[in-house]
Amino acid sequence: MSISVLGAGAFGTALAITLANARPDITLWARDDSAVESMCTERVNALRLPDAHLPEALGITSDLTKACQAEIILLVIPTQRLAAFLETNAALFAGKILVACCKGVDLATGLGPTATIKSKVPSATACVLTGPSFAVDIAAGLPTALTLAGPSESLKDIQSELSTPALRLYRTSDVTGAELGGALKNVIAIACGAAIGAGYGESARAAVMTRGYAEIQRLAIALGAEPKTLAGLSGFGDLTLTCTSQRSRNYSFGYAIGAQTSFDPNQTVEGAKTAEAVSNLAQKHGIDMPITRVVAAILANKLNIKDAMEALLARPLKEE
């Protein structure tokens, strides 16, 4: 089956590179004509992934209709923009295999990526690709393992089509667990970055990660996720990577908040909107998520880092 990658940011470009290095029928779509012309000529995405070569076999286009002729379409579109993008181009996506490559919860609807796909393109097969990964590692051909979640009847074939020698996919039908693990860990990563940026130290980060993982489990399991999914790549694995590396945009964003320094506004930080969306979701279902609630309050300028840490440390003593 032919494959198109929609979205030429760092992650979309990296996926296109690793797939095109393994097979000839890969297309990368970007909305900017000048960026496409530059990538076709220079064979590099200078703005998003400047150190990675674009294989000669990789097709690059700004023609969405052409890109959507593929049977499998990877949607590397930020979660908060996904619904509008699908609605605008629904006719092009009808009957396709659509794989969301984004992490988060839609602020307007409270839906995850696959539910968003099904709400806008009911005839599509909706999947999600998630897990611990950095674009530069994927583009460089370094070993990476991800979770592919979707309907069990078609998942094995899709897994086979999207796997490469360096990109190993594990499949699961637990879409809820895969999506919420990937979404919620971004919120915890912001909290971890803020703790380190504010000078609270490595032990504080370990505490935030651990208690944050407990929050992830509480909400996700209440919404139908399987515990084993949350302990896997899309849960614990992604949490570990995102909360401990300066290359994580969510962690770096939190660090900038804690250190009171600037952060590149052009960087997509999925966890920022997710914090608000998940805080609303937790309140709706009566789930206690203090770290998520504090992150949402900080981002809404209702709480500063010092008061946030004091609020968390003042919580009642109890059994773990």
Three-state secondary-structure class, residue 130: strand
Is 103 part of the annotated catalytic residue set?
Answer: no
Quickly count: other Cβ atoms within 10 Å of residue 107's Cβ: 17
Looking at residue 320, what is its pLDDT?
67
Helix axes 175-197, 113-120, angle to 10 degrees: 130
Q: Give the Cα separation of 86 and 93 in Å (integer).
A: 8
Evaluate if residue 319 carries a pLDDT over 80: no
Q: Cα separation of 153 and 17, whole Å? A: 28
- Which tokens in the block code for residue 78? 């930020």
The domain 3-173 belongs to what CATH superfamily? Answer: NAD(P)-binding Rossmann-like Domain (3.40.50.720)
Q: Element (H or E) spanning 152, and its range?
A: helix 152-162
| CA-based nearest residue to 189, from 246, 262, 264 | 246
User: Of residues 96, 103, 185, 273, which has the active-site annotation?
Assistant: 185
Instruction: Grade residue 308 by pLDDT with cuts at 50, 70 and 90.
Output: confident
Chain segment 154-206, per-residue pLDDT in tens: 899 999 999 999 999 999 999 999 999 999 999 999 999 999 999 999 999 99
Is the sign of the CA dihedral 149, 157, 133, 37 positive or negative? negative
Question: For residue 10, which of 83, 114, 102 has the smallest C-alpha distance?
Answer: 102
Q: pLDDT band for 305, please (50, 70, 90 cuts).
A: confident
What is the rounded CA–CA span in Å between residue 149 and residue 162? 12
pLDDT of residue 161: 97
**Lookup: tokens for 171:** 């499949």
**Strand pairing category for 59-61 and 49-53:** unpaired
**pTM summary value:** 0.94
Q: Is 316 helix (H, G, I), strand (E, B) or coil?
A: coil
Domain parsing of the chain, residue ranges: 3-173, 176-313
In Å, how far from its chain's centre is CA 312?
27
Asked if 3-173 and 176-313 have one fold, the answer is: no
* Beta strand pairing call for 3-6 and 72-75: parallel
Q: Which fold has domain 176-313?
A: N-(1-d-carboxylethyl)-l-norvaline Dehydrogenase; domain 2 (1.10.1040)
Q: Sign of dihedral through CA atoms 271, 188, 149, 247?
A: positive
Residue tagged 């499949």 (tokens):
171
- Dig out the tokens for 46 from the structure: 């200078």
